Structure 1
Amino acid sequence: MKNFNYQAGTKILFGKNKINELADEILPFGKRVLITYGKGSVVKSGLLDAVKSELKEKDIYIEELGGIQPNPRLASVREGIAICREKKIEFVLAIGGGSIIDGSKAIAAGVNYPGDVWDFYIRKAVPETALPLGTILTLAATGSEMNGSSVITNDETQEKLPTSSECLRPKISVLDPTLTFTVNKWQTASGVVDIMSHIFEQYFTPDLGTDLQDNMAEGILKTCLKYGPIAIKEPKNYEARANLMWASSIALNGLMVTGKMSGDWGTHMIEHEVSAIYDLTHGAGLSILFPNWMKFVLNERNAFKFARLGKNVFGIEESEAMLAATKTIEAIRAFFTSLDMPASLSDVDIPSEHFKVMGEKACQFGPIGYFKRLNGEDVTAILKMSK
């Protein structure tokens, strides 16, 4: 296990009606708030009005930016930055899932930056300061409510790129499982795949001696196996929604990768290239790609890690490591399929014409992944396996 520093600086307000505590938590950061949200579900549900009512009781000034898209666009981010500058906003409050939160992080980072916010995503600059951010989570999936990462899309260049900085970690996040009761089957399943994929990215690393972290990771995977199908079948099952919501946060708040060199993140980088062009739901893309990445990187040296996951999560008893690994990958694919998640790019009407370009763009800053380093040709090969 490697040396590490760990601090998860987000205050979590978990449970029913926790938005009632939000205004008091925001006040130490300021009284001028930009509320960001998506295409209207928070309006129709009454959640937006409830939040505004809570804030107005404390004399908090409110501006709004609605319409932030899934796979948030650079144009919306720039619009939010302009509002914050003009209205002297002191705090950004994101209501929604990972896309809304990621876009809001970009807004928060860009307000006091003299250049273009896209600089952070093309590695021209690193976010060093940001407006304080809070979130009200309505979809258990990305973990963005408790980490400092952000992914946005530039339509002009057809690029979907990440950035990360501790200053982007939300100060406050409200996690009320009842706010996910209305999430449909597709988005619930996509969220489960996303949570599991975050675990895979941090589980499959070259590091040794991280048994505690791997045990915790396996526990989160088993939680997804148990509660994912329940949440899909019984959308108002509080226990299922609560466990998935907390799994989302813990899976990607930095805890799983402590003591390790890094997560792998190769599959995520490949998926970003697919959804940058075709606007695919993130979890659906990961459902297609991850089992094929696993097949591509599997070898005699790393088979033991797949075998361990198979035994501890799926109950696969097989003494020969390569066979156990193969059965584990098959079990993962079978579970994704049981959630009605796609297994191939053709399932979601994505052709093969851009595979080579996707491979090149995925590796534009150099090889990706750490469990096995991947170049552009490797990425193209994985995409071909996924067609």
Structure 2
Amino acid sequence: MNNFIYDTPTKVYFGKDEELKIGKIISEYHPSKVLIHFGGASARKSGLLERVENCLKEENISFVELGGVVANPELSLVREGIALGKREGVDFVLAVGGGSVLDSSKAIANGLANPDVDVWDFSLGKAAPARTLPKGAILTLAAAGSEMSSSCVITNAATGEKRGYNSSFNRMNFAIENPVLTYTVNPYQTACGAVDIAMHTIERYFCPGEDTYLTDSIAEAVIKSTRKAAFDCMKNPDDYTARANMMWASSLAHNGLTQCGREFQLVVHQFEHELSGMYPKIAHGAGLAALWCSWARYVYKANISRWLQYSANVWNLDIDYEHPEKTIEEAINLQEQYYVSLGMPIGLKALGVEEASLTKLALNCSRNKTRTLTGYKPLAYDDILAIYQMAYERG
């Protein structure tokens, strides 16, 4: 087991009606003015924004609002939020929504707290935030796990770049998780969320590292629990138990717990970031589903024993020790069938990706052939291109 640091400072308020505590929670930070950041009209239509506003008013907390966050949060709105925050004297950011809203809020908080630095430089790795504003979240979607992670992913629509960076300043001070708020999430977005939740842990599972059987057991439980919750949510969107387990899995899958003792790089996420950066209408979870099985088929021979463990412990397969590759291929096929059962794509054509763009995607992902993605099988430009081509050929 490798050395590791496990730090999850975000305080979680979990359960029904917990969002009604938001005024008292924020009052502990003594803000001058709060920026309430959200996505589309659903936050207002559902009555959630009004409840949040009333809670802040009860505590005499001033606020200003900015909506408009899209599925792949854009730099242009981040800049708008920073400009608004400067004009209004904002010193606390409250995200109301899913992972895209949370990431946009993180970027705004970092931009306001570091006014002498271009906020996009954080995403490009040219600079690192030295401070941030306090921030919290009220989740309306179980998917990205941004409420517990140190990650922030932003898209520059002008250049087609989607970039993420990690920093301790990206941590939310608190997150309110009421599973009831996810009842209205449509089946497609529920499925996308389930894919993303599990993928955060699946990818960690296949990062290099040995003798991590406790971490492995936690990871396997998160993956299998997410799969069950996804099926139950699709059958009954108002199943509180299923929504609650999916929401909690989202937080556990991306808070660092399922990587303890192992190396860390979310390789398939790197592929997908380039995909939805170039095609911003592609939902992140759908892009992951379209890519993962092709990646798996390309890399599994680099560590047969690890993949056999996954096949047995996650998919409950009996191992064929004479033909181990057959067992692994069966597990990958089962995962592919699972994605199909959720209505997710298993190839890039279904997402409208053009074959002519594959070379550009591979160049972007390899940073113009200067970056090799890590893992049991390192992936340079030619490997990355081959995986995009495999995913395209899957349909």
TM-score greater than 0.5 by the shorter chain = yes
2:296 corresponds to: 294
Match of 2:372 in 1: 367
Q: Deviations over 1:200-245 (max 9, x none)?
A: 1100012001111110000011102211111011000000000000
Residues 285-311 of structure 1 show CA distances to partners (whole Å, capped at 9, x for unaligned) of 000100111111111x41111111111
1:357 is matched with 360
Corresponding letter in the other structure for 2:343: D
Task: Report what 1:74 is aligned to.
Answer: 75
CA RMSD after TM alignment: 1.1
Counterpart residue type for residue 189 of structure 1 = A
Q: Is 1:329 matched up with 2:328?
A: no
The answer for unaligned runs of 5 or more in structure 1 is none
Deviation at 1:164, TM superposition (A): 1.1
The Cα of 1:372 is off from its aligned counterpart by: 2.1
Task: Write the distance in 2 (CA, Å) between the matches of 1:175 and 1:349.
Answer: 34
Candidates 211, 219, 222, aligned match of 2:221: 219
Pair 1:30-2:30 in alignment: yes
Q: Which moved more, 1:302-311 or 1:99-108?
A: 302-311
1:127 aligns with 2:132: no
SS of equivalent to 2:244:
helix
**Is the 8 Å Cα contact of residues 30 and 90 (structure 1) preserved in structure 2?**
no
User: CA contact under 8 A between 1:23 and 1:58: conserved in structure 2?
Assistant: yes
* Residue 268, structure 1, aligned to residue 256, structure 2: no
Contact 1:29/1:90, CA 8 A, preserved across alignment? no
Q: Choose which of 361, 368, 382 in structure 2 pairs with 1:377.
A: 382
- In the TM superposition, residue 30 of structure 1 has moved relative to its aligned partner by 2.9
- Superposed CA deviations along residues 317-338 of structure 1, whole A, max 9, x for unmatched, are 0232322211111111111111
CA displacement at 1:354 relative to structure 2? 1.2
Mapped to 1, the partners of 2:147 and 2:140 lie a distance apart of 10
Q: Residues 55-74 of structure 1 correspond to what in structure 2 (within 5 A)?
A: 55-74=56-75
- Deviation, structure 1 residue 369: 3.0
Query: Following the alignment from structure 1 to structure 2, what is the Cα–Cα distance between the partners of residues 250 and 128?
Result: 27
Q: Which residue of 1 aligns with 2:166?
A: 164
Query: How many residues are aligned here?
Result: 385
Which of 192, 202, 213 lines up with 1:200 in the alignment? 202
Determine the C-alpha separation between the residues in 2 that align with 1:68 and 1:238: 27
Provide structure 2 residue ranges, at least 5 long, that are not aligned to the other structure.
Answer: none
2:341 is the counterpart of 1:344: no
One-letter code of the match for 2:352? D
TM-score (norm 1): 0.97
On the 8 A contact 1:128/1:165 being kept in 2, the answer is no
- From 158, 177, 180, the equivalent of 2:179 is 177
Task: Measure how far apart 1:128 and its partner are.
Answer: 2.4
* Distance in structure 1 (CA, Å) of the matches to 2:21 and 2:222: 28
2: distance between equivalents of 1:103 and 1:352? 31
Instruction: Spell out, residue by residue over 1:257-315, the C-alpha distance to the aligned partner (whole angstroms, 9 max, x if none).
Output: 112222x311101111111111210000000100111111111x411111111111211
In the TM superposition, what is the alpha-carbon distance from 1:5 to its structure 2 partner? 2.1
Distance in 2, Cα, partners of 1:376 & 1:121: 22
Give a deviation string over 1:132-172, Cα, whole Å, max 9, x none. Answer: 11001111000001111110100111100001111110001
SS of 1:136's partner is strand
Contact between 1:344 and 1:386, CA under 8 Å: does it hold in 2?
Answer: yes
Check conservation: 2:297, 2:332, Cα contact below 8 A.
yes
1:10 alignment partner in structure 2: 10
Post-superposition CA distance 1:314-367 (Å, at most 9, x none): 111023232221111111111111111011111122111111111111121621
The residue number in structure 2 matching 1:139 is 141
Off by >3 Å, runs of 4+ in structure 1: none
Q: Secondary structure at the match of 1:144?
A: coil
The percentage of aligned residue pairs carrying the same residue is: 40
User: What is the CA deviation profile of residues 176-204 of structure 1, one whole-angstrom value per residue up to 9, with x for unaligned ones?
Assistant: 00000000000000100001111111000
Alpha-carbon distance between aligned partners in 1 of 2:376 and 2:266, rounded to the nearest angstrom? 9
The TM-score normalised by the length of structure 2 is 0.95
Q: CA deviation at 1:89?
A: 0.9
Structure 2 letter corresponding to 1:382:
I
Amino acid at match of 2:202: F
